Amino acid sequence: MAFLVAGTLQVASKMADARQSLERKGKYGLQGPRVALTLCSPEVSASTVAVLEGVFRTLGFESCQRREASVQGFLGELAGFQEQLDALGGPMGCALVALVAPRGQLRQPQQLVQELSHCRALWGCPKVFLLLSSAPGAASEPGAFLTVLSELCGRFPHWSLLQLLTEVFYRTAKESEATCCPVLRSSLRGALCLGDVEPWEPQLEPSPSTQYDLSGTRAALLLSVVHDRPGAQHDVEALGGLCRALSFKTTLRTDPTAQAFQEEMAQFRECLDARRAPVSCALVALMAHGGPQGQLLGADGQEVQPEALVQELSHCRALWGCPKIFLLQACRGGQRDAGVGPTALPWFRCWLRASPTTPSHADVLQIYADAQGSSSAGPAPGSPDQADVLMVYAAAEGCVAYRDEEKGSDFIQTLVEVLRADPGAELLELLTEVNRRVCELEVLGPDCQERVKACLEIRSSLRRQLCLQA
């Protein structure tokens, strides 16, 4: 019994330290060991694995394991890795897992990602997944993504990982002549800096080429179903005011049907293409009820796929090379997340000074990229027209998004609060702060008797830093 109590207190103390670090500095503390694992299929070249292991060492990972297995065996290998970490008896600082397989074989990566989220030693700790696809018969030398990643990790260890990846995406696009488009998915709650230097210490200022030029017209489209969504009007008012404050020419449509969602997006695209003056940025907010598979429901109850709306704007000629921001306030399923963490008695919760649980989908960073170029072997993880897209979901995949009838949704209201406080900061950093605040909340929905947690998902193929106010 004493052993169980001691173990629980140890994990709880680690989570309290991590939470206080995130509150105080907005970054992960990384006090514990860093562990790395490479899972690769037999077809993966030795040179690719060697570059990966060099990246791990540069980033300060003390333990670097490598296991070769078929893609079907990846889940079992990850389960064994999880058990190994839990058996160490102490909290970790960070875990990095590289999954390398021929293109198209990693069909359900979320199942692999979720496996490590169950690891008790990693509760509240960042978990980074590098999902690399390689082309059958590709050259033995690693492609642009791994080459640039290796170089920048060595040169700029003081940069936060999201900042580093944005620069990698930019340089990869130049090296590969836009034939591939890396994508990241983040639910991080703070800055993740794997070097030994604070990311806000004096550093090289980014060159103008690494920032989006927002000197042209900015356009925003807000599509919101307010009927039978109490509190939605508060989101419309708050987001509309923010867009105007950030100099977006804003179009608002309320209670669109499923067909109207598509028609409004097509009209928005046509208007942008018809403009003579340059367009530098577009923001689209989609606010509605959500279907069980992440569909949006129009005011008529019919479904529309958000991916189709994103694709519509990606074809806009006026926005080629420009950032396209999508905010999705909608449920993505019916799951309610109770969070992960040690069971807490009332006195225990007071001692931690906060809820001891963390959303089970939080603290994960996934990077999808090509390991060996993509010249002639089929589509890369993201096609060129998916570049420069930033999507922010109010809920993790499969989960409920919450909205207060009197105040509006947690996501939109927190987003507006954070951006108004510091509109000149880099947008990915601001969104990470939004997620931290949302993850701290405990939600008691109208049809739920227990308090639950929420977590954002940020997807980015941005290739430059994005600051909405100079």
Residue 206 phi, psi (nearest 5): -65, 140
The C-alpha atoms of residue 45 and residue 313 are separated, in whole angstroms, by 38
pLDDT in tens, 437-446: 999 998 876 6
pLDDT of residue 381: 52
Within this chain, do residues 220 and 273 fall inside the same structural domain, yes or no?
yes
- Tell me the sheet residues that pair with 98: 38, 130
Residue 261, classified by CB atoms within 10 Å of its CB into exposed (0-12), middle (13-18) or buried (19+), is: buried
Q: 242 with 281: CB under 8 angstroms?
A: no
Active site residue 180: no
Q: Please state the rounded mean pLDDT for residues 145-168.
A: 88
Last residue of a domain, one of 123, 152, 186: 186
pLDDT in tens, 80-125: 999 999 998 777 899 999 999 987 888 778 888 888 888 989 989 9
* Sign of the CA dihedral running 83, 85, 87, 93: negative
**In the structure, what pLDDT confidence band is assigned to residue 451 with cuts at 50, 70 and 90?**
confident
pLDDT in tens, 45-76: 888 888 898 889 888 888 889 999 999 999 99
pLDDT of residue 220: 98
pLDDT in tens, 324-375: 999 999 999 999 998 887 644 444 444 444 556 889 999 999 999 987 544 3
Q: CA separation (Å) from 49 to 33, 77, 141, 370, 448? A: 22, 17, 10, 13, 47
pLDDT of residue 46: 84
Which amino acid belongs to residue 192? L
Q: Look up the CATH number of the domain holding residue 163.
A: 3.40.50.1460
Q: Please state the rounded mean pLDDT for residues 308-322.
A: 94
pLDDT of residue 377: 35
Average predicted confidence (pLDDT) for the chain: 85
Report if residue 360 sits inside a domain: no
Within this chain, do residues 398 and 271 fall inside the same structural domain, yes or no?
yes
**What's the domain count of the chain?**
2
Report if residue 167 sits inside a domain: yes
The C-alpha atoms of residue 278 and residue 140 are separated, in whole angstroms, by 43
Report if residue 63 sits inside a domain: yes
Residue 399 phi, psi (nearest 5): -110, 165
Report if residue 375 sits inside a domain: no
pLDDT of residue 3: 39
pLDDT of residue 2: 41
The C-alpha atoms of residue 397 and residue 82 are separated, in whole angstroms, by 22
Say if residue 378's pLDDT is above 70.
no
Report if residue 470 sits inside a domain: no
- Tell me the sheet residues that pair with 131: 99, 368
pLDDT of residue 30: 85
The C-alpha atoms of residue 247 and residue 438 are separated, in whole angstroms, by 26
Q: 132 with 99: CB under 8 angstroms?
A: yes
The C-alpha atoms of residue 171 and residue 178 are separated, in whole angstroms, by 10
pLDDT of residue 356: 64
pLDDT in tens, 215-251: 999 999 999 999 999 999 999 999 999 999 999 999 9
Pairwise pLDDT comparison (371 vs 306), residue with the higher score: 306
Catalytic residue among 40, 158, 281, 289: 289
Closest by CA to 242, choosing from 424, 403, 410, 417, is 417
pLDDT of residue 340: 82
Report if residue 466 sits inside a domain: no
The token pair at 204 is 């090289």
Q: 460 with 184: CB under 8 angstroms?
A: yes
Report if residue 370 sits inside a domain: no
pLDDT in tens, 181-205: 899 999 999 999 887 555 444 455 5
Q: Please state the rounded mean pLDDT for residues 452-466.
A: 95
Catalytic residue among 331, 399, 439, 455: 331
The C-alpha atoms of residue 154 and residue 447 are separated, in whole angstroms, by 51
The C-alpha atoms of residue 278 and residue 116 are separated, in whole angstroms, by 45
Within this chain, do residues 71 and 160 fall inside the same structural domain, yes or no?
yes
The C-alpha atoms of residue 180 and residue 410 are separated, in whole angstroms, by 35
Q: What is the DSSP letter of 71?
A: G
Within this chain, do residues 231 and 182 fall inside the same structural domain, yes or no?
no
Say if residue 131's pLDDT is above 80.
yes
- Please provide the distance, in angstroms rounded to a whole number, between the alpha carbons at the two ends of the chain: 58
Task: Give the strand pairing for 303-304 and 63-68.
Answer: unpaired
Last residue of a domain, one of 186, 201, 223: 186
**In the structure, what pLDDT confidence band is assigned to residue 8 with cuts at 50, 70 and 90?**
very low
> Which residues, at least 6 apart from 267, have a Cβ–Cβ distance to it below 8 Å?
none
The range of the structural domain enclosing residue 261 comes to 210-346+382-460
Pairwise pLDDT comparison (16 vs 395), residue with the higher score: 395
Question: Reduced to 3 DSSP states, what percent helix, strand and coil does the chain have, rounded to the nearest 5?
Answer: 35, 20, 40
Active site residue 289: yes
Within this chain, do residues 174 and 215 fall inside the same structural domain, yes or no?
no
Say if residue 456's pLDDT is above 90.
yes
Say if residue 317's pLDDT is above 80.
yes
Pairwise pLDDT comparison (445 vs 43), residue with the higher score: 43
Within this chain, do residues 252 and 127 fall inside the same structural domain, yes or no?
no
Report if residue 368 sits inside a domain: no
Say if residue 396's pLDDT is above 90.
yes
Within this chain, do residues 222 and 110 fall inside the same structural domain, yes or no?
no
The C-alpha atoms of residue 307 and residue 314 are separated, in whole angstroms, by 10
**In the structure, what pLDDT confidence band is assigned to residue 290 with cuts at 50, 70 and 90?**
very high
- Tell me the sheet residues that pair with 358: 340
The C-alpha atoms of residue 158 and residue 167 are separated, in whole angstroms, by 13
pLDDT of residue 154: 84
Within this chain, do residues 30 and 145 fall inside the same structural domain, yes or no?
yes
Q: Please state the rounded mean pLDDT for residues 7-19.
A: 49
Within this chain, do residues 79 and 171 fall inside the same structural domain, yes or no?
yes
Say if residue 178's pLDDT is above 80.
no
Q: CA separation (Å) from 414 to 180, 409, 418, 421? A: 34, 8, 6, 11
Say if residue 37's pLDDT is above 90.
yes
The residue behind tokens 């990698």 is 168
Q: CA separation (Å) from 8 to 18, 90, 356? A: 15, 10, 11
The token pair at 468 is 């909405």
The C-alpha atoms of residue 87 and residue 84 are separated, in whole angstroms, by 5
The token pair at 463 is 């290739």
Under DSSP, is residue 390 helix (H, G, I), strand (E, B) or coil?
A: strand
Within this chain, do residues 222 and 171 fall inside the same structural domain, yes or no?
no
Between 11-20, 41-50, 271-280, the lowest mean confidence (pLDDT) is in 11-20
pLDDT of residue 117: 83
Q: Please state the rounded mean pLDDT for residues 173-180.
A: 63
**In the structure, what pLDDT confidence band is assigned to residue 379 with cuts at 50, 70 and 90?**
very low
Q: 52 with 218: CB under 8 angstroms?
A: no
Between 168-172, 293-297, 328-332, the lowest mean confidence (pLDDT) is in 168-172
The C-alpha atoms of residue 468 and residue 470 are separated, in whole angstroms, by 7
The whole-model pTM stands at 0.89
The C-alpha atoms of residue 123 and residue 129 are separated, in whole angstroms, by 16
Under DSSP, is residue 401 helix (H, G, I), strand (E, B) or coil?
A: coil
The residue behind tokens 């994005």 is 466
Say if residue 382's pLDDT is above 60.
no
Within this chain, do residues 44 and 158 fall inside the same structural domain, yes or no?
yes
The token pair at 156 is 């700029």
pLDDT of residue 102: 85
> Which residues, at least 6 apart from 206, have a Cβ–Cβ distance to it below 8 Å?
465
Within this chain, do residues 138 and 67 fall inside the same structural domain, yes or no?
yes
